[in-house]
Structure 1
Amino acid sequence: MKNAIITASTKGMGRAISIIFAKEGVNLAICSRHDDELAAFKTELLTINPNIKVFTSVTDCSVKQQVLAFAAAAEEALGDISIIVNNAGMYTYSSILDDTEDAFQKQVNTNLMPAYELYRYFGKKMIAAKDGHIFNICSIAAISPIAEAGTYSVTKFALLGLTKVMRLEMQDHGVKVTAIIPGSTLTDSWKGMVVDKDKMVLPEDIASAVINIYKMSVGANVDEIIIKPAYGQI
């Protein structure tokens, strides 16, 4: 049985990806800032597949020490981790010139740091095992920046850049690295706004892409995949 660690796992894309890996028979280490959400989701996942293990951790992914503690605890509970899904992220609607004083550091710590730290924690272990797949959930803003979400765009640019470096470091060792680049996706980022879900990408679409990429032959890697709304960006 393979073991996966998925950040920000109880909502949106993280939730959908966790469910699809559970159906595939993968043991899961999931995290959230809310204990009640984790407990309910663990029960749901074990109902979907009673044969897997689910490890939960209350973790604020913007805090390095908590990210590393989650990694260590997940490894201790499940064993070797061979799948990483870096899903944690935050979207702030603000131009760079209108950012609050802490906006840059807060978004770097949420959108970039967890992927960097989990890579450093697990990367050499994956190399030694000659096995692993890292998925970084980027954003279309990494390719087409959004002026009204300036710092978000910068951090997603950085995450895509990090993904490319990861791939170069890992490709000689049989470890795969994939950038998932979603357009307008129906997640909590849109809470409070009136949107037409039939004109958006759904979290289940992202999960479907992830699992199909994961199940490709050992010699195939999807470097990056862009998934945008059929009617264009919202």
Structure 2
Amino acid sequence: MERAWHHLSSETGISRSRVNDSYVCRVRAIDRASTGPYCCSSDLVLGLVKDTSHHSFATNPSDLVSSVSILKNIGSCSCICRGAWVSDPDLVSTKLGSLMADSEKPVVLITGCSEGGIGYALARAFALEGCFVVATSRSLSSMKSLENDPRFFLQELDVVSEDSIRRVVANTLDKFGQIDVLVNNAGVHLVAPLAEVPMSSFEHVFNTNVYGPMRLIQFVVPQMVLRKKGKIVNIGSISALAPGPWAGVYSASKAALHALTDTLRLELRTFGISVINVAPGAIRSNFGKSSTASYDQMPEWKFYKPFEAAIRARTALSQGPKSTPAEEFAKRTVAMVLSKQPPAWFSYGQLSTILAILYYLPLSIRDYIYRLALKC
């Protein structure tokens, strides 16, 4: 590997330096138009750039295939191909065209893609639109139906672990060289009265729903900044607009994520990065089952025992007969995300309009409605 870099540097004037586990290569004034195409003798993809100005591109030395999308934006490539020294222009052209075509496909990293959930539906919807999808969940077995599909790159990821995030981001950049869209979808629900919720459960919700997305963002943003483009999609919740009883921890975590998203949108705009707040309504998924399983782990209530039935019912509130199918939500969301100018805010699904109206109502009226509907 070092020999390949030395050869490339001596032949073309490309130098490198280490920055945050990535290699930043500086391409000096090069003109190889008259000398024919070149590539490194190792099984890598390298490019010579006909350009008299100074440019930078970020890549990983273990797989420069992924640098095609960056190279084509900074100059006219004399050669990009795989294998030993090549002098056949037609072969070079064919390989370059193929690589360029692949580089046009957006690379989308999605968290929380277990089958039956919103993330799974989003992964399939992005794939249908021609994207390379890095589908992640805490267990590969939960995404088994995607494993033989070449459109998906499956990875185990726990959003509460920086080591796990670092590994997945590195694997993705090694394979694709870029992450165009980050979808922070992974999250946990919690139903419990605030006065009695175990603090360990409280902390777990915020660690997953708030700190988890921020961990991903901090690992993914650097390569987006270098490329001056990218999209970050944070999946919040419409319940954060008008929090009701029994799910206060969850609603608070999503409200925090909404606030962080609004700030990120302003702070990252200067680097060409769009940040989108998605607030699903009641979407049909495995959300209710997961929430019920979590609720079954709660201790017996001391003060709220008379409200046990109402509290438990809150776990499946979003899973009624009129809930919006996850596939429908995903299709609408993906179309919005992949548009040239996506909106800052997007909400879709059953109860979205009702919650938006509740947000603007006087608190006394909103409280009255919640007391009737959720029996508190």
The aligned residue for residue 146 of structure 2 is 41
Distance 1:33 1:181 in 2: 23
Quote how far apart the aligned CAs of 1:79 are.
Answer: 1.7
The aligned residue for residue 131 of structure 2 is 26
The aligned residue for residue 196 of structure 2 is 98
Secondary structure of 1:8's counterpart equals: coil
The aligned residue for residue 65 of structure 1 is 163
Higher relative contact order (CA 8 A, sep 6+): 1
The aligned residue for residue 94 of structure 2 is none
- The amino acid that maps onto 1:28 is V
Is 2:285–2:326's contact at 8 Å kept on the other side of the alignment? yes
Distance 1:204 1:122 in 2: 27
Is 1:13–1:187's contact at 8 Å kept on the other side of the alignment? yes
Residues 161-192 of structure 1 show CA distances to partners (whole Å, capped at 9, x for unaligned) of 11111100122222111111012111212227
Secondary structure of 1:85's counterpart equals: strand
Is 2:187–2:208's contact at 8 Å kept on the other side of the alignment? yes
Distance 1:98 1:183 in 2: 27
Quote how far apart the aligned CAs of 1:232 are.
Answer: 4.9
Structure 1 gap ranges (5+): none
* 1:223 has 2:344 as partner: yes
What is the RMSD computed on CA atoms of the aligned residues? 2.1
Distance 1:121 1:227 in 2: 29
- The amino acid that maps onto 1:213 is M
The aligned residue for residue 161 of structure 1 is 259
Distance 1:157 1:189 in 2: 18
* 1:10 has 2:117 as partner: no
* Identity level (%): 25
Quote how far apart the aligned CAs of 1:77 are.
Answer: 2.4
**TM-score where L is the length of structure 1:** 0.87
Secondary structure of 1:225's counterpart equals: strand
* 1:208 has 2:331 as partner: yes
Secondary structure of 2:261's counterpart equals: helix
Quote how far apart the aligned CAs of 1:40 are.
Answer: 2.7
Distance 1:2 1:168 in 2: 23
Distance 1:68 1:145 in 2: 34
Q: How many residues align?
A: 224
* 1:86 has 2:190 as partner: no
Residues 51-96 of structure 1 show CA distances to partners (whole Å, capped at 9, x for unaligned) of x3x2222222233332232222222222210110100001111122
When residues 36 and 108 of structure 1 are mapped into structure 2, their CA distance, relative to the original with a 3 A threshold, is same
- The amino acid that maps onto 1:41 is L
Q: Which moved more, 1:119-128 or 1:147-156?
A: 119-128
Secondary structure of 1:160's counterpart equals: helix
Distance 1:124 1:68 in 2: 13
